[in-house]
Amino acid sequence: MYVRGIAASEMWVQLRPMRSTPLSQTLNVFRSKRPLSASTNQWIGLQQWREAPLNHDRTWGPKGPEPPLTPATSPLNQHCNGFQRTPSSLSEWGTLVLSTSDPITKARLSHHAYTLWRENDLCLGVWEPPDRPARPPKPHLEALGTGFFSDFAHVADDESRHYLWCSERLAELGFSYGDMPAHNLLWRECEKTSGCVAARLAVIPLVQEARGLDAGPRLVKKLVGFGDNRTSSIVAKIAEEEVQHVSVGVFWFVSVCAKMGCTPDVIFKDLLKEYNVELKGPFNHAARDEAGIPRDWYDESYTTKDRNGLSEVHERLACIISMEKQNSALGDYVH
Ligand SMILES: [Fe+2]
């Protein structure tokens, strides 16, 4: 009923309107991939369960489930957390259940609401539920812990320093922040993944910041070519420090997967598909290796090449050619 803080309210959560991509939907990725299709065997007792009489066996007696000896005496609205009236629709009852922190009361309210529903005393209705269910002070829910927040506060501190270096250099060149157009890709990806920490870690540090590892050395080389050694040094230092950001992302992504009991490489690929995130090479394998992203997570051709027995030299040549092509494209862009 209140196992791990979610089960009692789970049936009510299903009444909630779906907003963007909810965590529950994302977590389904981690569960069975068995499709709900016509070929799925339906449980033989489903219809019987639906039509079964209301079950009032709310206690566990010497011989098993039985109705309570004395009916509950306290009025149901005693713990209604600000509800000024008795709900008149199933969705309003659902909201009341979600807004009630005491688990016993939550259970009583659930049963009472379902009883009314079965007696045809309720309409379905539309009601805005709370974003999170009310909970008692205990149990303490499993969380990522202060280490997670400490690491990402550190990342934010690094980024703020990177900004100041760039801002200072722009000023030296006669520009300031905002003089040149910029894209909003990073924040768009943040919005997309705001409901799921695993997806956020996969998409931001492991894809977007990892792209910085790929692009950094190419930009450094171009800047040296322009004779701007001061800017190239700044970009090189930023690219070097991005390794730590990707590394922190890998650490926490694997930790979150471990907490969920799922395999990181499978989930990483599933999340990118679900959130429609594309992986683009050429990849800076040395920096990615240093950051700890396994190559088979992001390089689909890796295992294929391995299977085909292509030599490492061939792979490196292909990578150099690909990076040279990118350099030309980058040159066009910079000009
Ligand atoms: Fe970063």
pTM reported for the whole predicted model: 0.60
- What is the rounded distance in angstroms from the CA atom of residue 217 to the CA atom of residue 290? 15
Q: How far is CA 62 from CA 58, 104, 108, 264, in A?
A: 13, 21, 22, 47
Report the separation in Å between the CA atom of 202 and the middle of ligand 1, taken as the mean of its atom positions: 14
Report the separation in Å between the CA atom of 102 and the middle of ligand 1, taken as the mean of its atom positions: 43
Report the separation in Å between the CA atom of 261 and the middle of ligand 1, taken as the mean of its atom positions: 28
Identify the pLDDT of residue 42: 79
Report the separation in Å between the CA atom of 223 and the middle of ligand 1, taken as the mean of its atom positions: 20
Report the separation in Å between the CA atom of 157 and the middle of ligand 1, taken as the mean of its atom positions: 10
Report the separation in Å between the CA atom of 209 and the middle of ligand 1, taken as the mean of its atom positions: 6
Report the separation in Å between the CA atom of 241 and the middle of ligand 1, taken as the mean of its atom positions: 7
Identify the pLDDT of residue 14: 36
Report the separation in Å between the CA atom of 20 and the middle of ligand 1, taken as the mean of its atom positions: 26
Q: Which residues of the chain have pLDDT under 70?
A: 1-41, 71-84, 140-142, 303-335
The answer, yes or no, to whether the previous bond of 65 is cis (omega within 30 of 0) is: no
Report the separation in Å between the CA atom of 240 and the middle of ligand 1, taken as the mean of its atom positions: 10
Report the separation in Å between the CA atom of 239 and the middle of ligand 1, taken as the mean of its atom positions: 8
Residues 6+ apart with CB under 8 A from 24: 13
> Residue 329: which region, alpha, beta or left (left: phi > 0; alpha: psi -120 to 50)?
alpha
Identify the pLDDT of residue 137: 84
Report the separation in Å between the CA atom of 257 and the middle of ligand 1, taken as the mean of its atom positions: 22
> Residue 126: which region, alpha, beta or left (left: phi > 0; alpha: psi -120 to 50)?
beta
Report the separation in Å between the CA atom of 12 and the middle of ligand 1, taken as the mean of its atom positions: 39
- Torsion sign across C-alpha atoms 295, 300, 304, 310: negative
SS3 125: coil
- Torsion sign across C-alpha atoms 219, 224, 228, 229: positive
Yes or no: say if 323 and 242 are a contact pair by the CB < 8 Å rule: no
Report the separation in Å between the CA atom of 139 and the middle of ligand 1, taken as the mean of its atom positions: 35
Report the separation in Å between the CA atom of 166 and the middle of ligand 1, taken as the mean of its atom positions: 14
**Residue ranges near ligand 1 (ion) with Cβ within 5 Å:** 209, 242, 245
SS3 259: helix
Report the separation in Å between the CA atom of 245 and the middle of ligand 1, taken as the mean of its atom positions: 5
Q: Kindly list the domain boundaries of the chain, sorted by start residue.
A: 1-23+51-141, 146-334
Report the separation in Å between the CA atom of 217 and the middle of ligand 1, taken as the mean of its atom positions: 15
Report the separation in Å between the CA atom of 159 and the middle of ligand 1, taken as the mean of its atom positions: 6
Identify the pLDDT of residue 75: 52
Report the separation in Å between the CA atom of 53 and the middle of ligand 1, taken as the mean of its atom positions: 58
- pLDDT digits over 277-296, tens only? 999 889 999 999 999 999 99
Report the separation in Å between the CA atom of 86 and the middle of ligand 1, taken as the mean of its atom positions: 51
Paired with 89 in beta bridges are: 123
Q: Which two tokens stand for residue 12?
A: 């009510």
Report the separation in Å between the CA atom of 30 and the middle of ligand 1, taken as the mean of its atom positions: 28
